[in-house]
Amino acid sequence: MVDGAPPARRHHGDVTLTVSNAEANSGHVRRVRRDLADATVTERPEASGLSASQEAWAAWVEDRLGRLQRVSLELTAAVSIDDVVATVLDVLDAPVAAPSRSLWLRDDVTDTLVLLAHRGMPDEAAAKFGRIPLSADVPGAVAARERRTIVSGAHADAVAEYATLQNVPRSTSGFAAIPLVADQRSVGVLGIGVDDVLDERDLAFFEAVAAQVAQTITRVRLTERERRRRTELEFLATLTDTALRASDHLDLMREVCAAAVPTLGDWCSLYFLPESGGPPLVTSAHVDPAKAAYVKTLQERHPYDPDGTSGVPAVVRSGSTEFVPKLTSTVIDDAIASAKISVNEATAIIDHLGITSAITVPLRTKRRIVGAMQVISAESGRHYDEDDVALAEAVAGRLAEALDSAWIADHQRTIAVTLQQALLPPALPTIPGVEVAARYWPAGMDRVGGDFYDVFQLGGGRWALVIGDVCGTGPNAAALTSVARHTIRAAARHGADAPAVMSWLNEAVLLSSRDLFCTACYATLTSDEGRWHLSSTAAGHPLPIVASREVTKTIGQAGTLLGVVDEVAVSTGEATLAPGDVVVFYTDGITDLPPPHGVLPDAVRDLVFELRDRTSADDIAEAIRRSLVERVPDRSRRDDVALLVIRIL
C-alpha cells in the first residue's frame, strides 16, 4: 500500500478489525505504551479499592509492560542481526502461547524475503518458505508488500485465502504475519504461530515488538554498513602496500587475489593482457583450497576465449562492468548456450561452483584496457549490490595502473638483462689448475649498466683477465661497454702489451663521442712450471686484491681515467700466486653505496681475506654478494657491480 491509502483490513478468524497504516507502523509502540501509562495505578488493588475488572486490567498492564521492557532492553543492546534474531526467538516472552516464531528479512537485490531463523516451524514449511518472492501470494509477502498485519485463526480459512498454503504442515492452528516497518518501509516480517485466539490487545503488543525490531534492524544495518565501509577503505589502502611489496607483476596479481578473498568475494580472478600480445596471464584465489585447484584445472582445460560473449572477454572488449546480482535460470541458460562446451559439462560446472552472484570489471589505464578482475560469491551465499560494484571498480581503478607499470618495469628489466648478457661473455673458459667465477648485478635490477668483465686465452699458457666500468647506465653506457670490451680483446690479440691495450681503449673511448669516461683493469695470468704469475695494469680502476694464507694485498697503481685525456699514464704490478691464493677483481659498485652503507677499499680487502678459505671461487663470489645485499638491497643500489674471482687449485 501507499501512504494515504484507505485503512487496511486485518483478518482475524470470523472477526474483521480495521486499523490505519500509520497505526500499523511505529505508532504501535507509542499506542501500547500510552495505553499502559493510562492504566497504571499507583497503589496495589487491595489498597485502592479497585474492582475485579480493574485489578485484572492492572495485572495485564504490568505484565505487558514488563514483557515490552525486556524486549526493548535486549534490542537496545543488539549490535548485529544475530542479536536481533536471538531476541525474537529467546527473549520475546509472548503474552499468549506462541509455539512458533520466525523472522524473515527483505533482500533488496533479489526482491525476496529470506528466512533468517525460526523456532517451532515444521522443516518442510521452513524449506518451502525459506526464500519468498515479495510478489508471491503468501501471507508473509503480502504483509511486507502492503505493510499490514495478516492474521489467520483457522487453518481452513488460511488455505481458502492463500492457495500456496495447501498441504503445507503447520505446528499451530493460527498465525500472525506482522510487517517490520521502519521509516515507512518494510524491512522484513515477524511470524508468530498461536493456538489461542489473538485479541486486539495481544496483537497490538506483537505489533509494538515488531516496530522495535524493525527500528533495531535499521540501526544495526547502518552500523554494519559503516563497519563495512571502513573495511573497504582499509582494503583499498592495503592495495598500495601490496603494490610496493610485490616483486614483479605476477607477484602483484597473486597478492591482490589473495587479499581480495573473502573481502570482495569467495573467489577472485585477475586477467592481464600483455601489450606484447599472446594469451592473458591469469591468477586466482578461492576461500576453499579444493575449489581453488578445481578452478585452476578449469582455466587450463578451457583457455581464455577472446571472442566470448560474456564474462571477462566481453568486459575486456567493451570496457564496461558486467554485474550479475543473482544467478537466475535465464542467466544460467544464456551462459550454457554461449559456452563452447557440452550442455552437460557446463551444467555440471555451474552446479559444482554454486555461484550466487558475480561482478566483472575492466582494468583500465590511461593507455588501454589491460585486463579484467572478476569477483564471485558462492559458498557465502552473498548477493552483490551496487556498493559492491562500486568497490570492485575502485579496486580495479587502483590496480590497473600499478599492474601495467609493474609489467612495463618487468619487461624493461628483461630487455636490460638480455642486453647486459650480450655485453658479457656467454661463458667463462676453463683454465687448467685455476677456478674462475664471475658475477654481474645491475643497479636497481631494471636497467643495463656500464660494468663489464672478460676472460680469454692469449696463447702460450697466458690468459687475459679484464674488468671495467663505464660511467653511468643506460643505452650510451651499454654501447660504450661493448666498444671497450671488444677493443681490449682486439688489442690483446694483436700482441699489444698492457700499456698499449690501455692506449687503444683510451682512444676508442675518446672517439666514441659519447662524453663518457671509463675505468679498467687488464691482467694476464701466466703458467710457469706449476706456479702462476699475475701481471695487472689499472687505469683509474680499483686495484685487484690478492689474498694468500698469510696476507692480503693489492697489485699495481690506479693510473689515469680513460677517455679524459689524450695520453694515459699507467703502471703494471706483479705477483706470484701459490696454490690456495685468491684474486678478486671488482668494480666500485661494491664500495660506492648510499650513506651510511659505503665501505672503504680496506674493508673489501679484509672481507676477501676472511673468505679466502671458502671451498671454491664460486662460494667466494656468492659470499661477497650476500655481504653486499645485507648492507643495501639490489633495488636500492645506485651503481651496478661486476666481480671476477680466481682461485689457484
Reduce the secondary structure of 356-413 to three states and give it as a string: CEEEEEEEECCCCEEEEEEEEECCCCCCCCHHHHHHHHHHHHHHHHHHHHHHHHHHHH
Q: With contact defined as beta carbons under 8 Å apart, do 84 and 213 qualify?
A: yes
- Rounded-to-integer distance, Cα 597 and Cα 585, Å: 21
* Phi, psi of 365, deg, nearest 5: -110, 180
Which residues share a beta bridge with 181? 186
What is the pTM (predicted TM-score) of this model? 0.55
- The fold of the 8-224 domain, in CATH, is Beta-Lactamase (3.30.450)
- Rounded-to-integer distance, Cα 131 and Cα 456, Å: 80
- Rounded-to-integer distance, Cα 582 and Cα 611, Å: 9
Q: Would you say the C-alpha torsion 303, 307, 309, 310 has a positive or negative sign? A: positive
Which cell is 59 given?
A: 495485572
Using CA atoms, how far residue 306 sits from 178, 320, 342, in Å, is 52, 15, 19
- Rounded-to-integer distance, Cα 256 and Cα 271, Å: 12
Please name the CATH architecture into which domain 246-413 falls: 2-Layer Sandwich (3.30)
Using CA atoms, how far residue 68 sits from 30, 41, 206, in Å, is 12, 18, 9
Instruction: Please report, to the nearest 10 degrees, the dihedral formed by the alpha carbons of residues 571, 538, 594, 480 taken in order.
Output: 140
* Phi, psi of 459, deg, nearest 5: 100, 155
Which residues share a beta bridge with 281? 272
Q: With contact defined as beta carbons under 8 Å apart, do 192 and 210 qualify?
A: no
Q: With contact defined as beta carbons under 8 Å apart, do 445 and 634 qualify?
A: yes
According to the model, what pLDDT value does residue 447 have? 60
- Rounded-to-integer distance, Cα 624 and Cα 604, Å: 9
Consecutive H or E run containing 143: helix 139-146
- Rounded-to-integer distance, Cα 310 and Cα 301, Å: 18
- Rounded-to-integer distance, Cα 120 and Cα 383, Å: 28
Which residues of the chain register pLDDT less than 50?
Answer: 1-34, 36-47
- Rounded-to-integer distance, Cα 645 and Cα 607, Å: 13
262 upstream amide cis, omega within 30 of 0: yes
- The fold of the 424-648 domain, in CATH, is Phosphatase 2c; domain 1 (3.60.40)
Q: Decide: residue 556, CB within 10 A, 0-12 exposed, 13-18 middle, 19+ buried.
A: buried
- In the three-class reduction of DSSP (H, G, I as helix; E, B as strand; rest coil), residue 187 is classed as strand
- Rounded-to-integer distance, Cα 171 and Cα 522, Å: 99
R_g (Cα) of the chain, nearest Å: 41
Strand 369-377 vs strand 545-547: parallel, antiparallel, or unpaired? unpaired
According to the model, what pLDDT value does residue 370 have? 95
What strand order describes the sheet that includes 572-577?
Answer: 449-459, 462-473, 518-528, 531-539, 572-577
Strand 112-119 vs strand 100-107: parallel, antiparallel, or unpaired? antiparallel
- In the three-class reduction of DSSP (H, G, I as helix; E, B as strand; rest coil), residue 185 is classed as strand
Taking the alpha carbons at both ends of the chain, their separation in whole angstroms is 98
- Ranges of each domain in the chain: 8-224, 246-413, 424-648
Q: Print burial letters for 392-408: b (CB count within 10 Å at least 16), e (below 16).
A: bbbbbbbbbbbbbebbe
- Rounded-to-integer distance, Cα 361 and Cα 374, Å: 6
- Is 246-413 in the same CATH topology as 8-224? yes
- Rounded-to-integer distance, Cα 219 and Cα 337, Å: 44
- In the three-class reduction of DSSP (H, G, I as helix; E, B as strand; rest coil), residue 275 is classed as coil
Q: Decide: residue 451, CB within 10 A, 0-12 exposed, 13-18 middle, 19+ buried.
A: buried
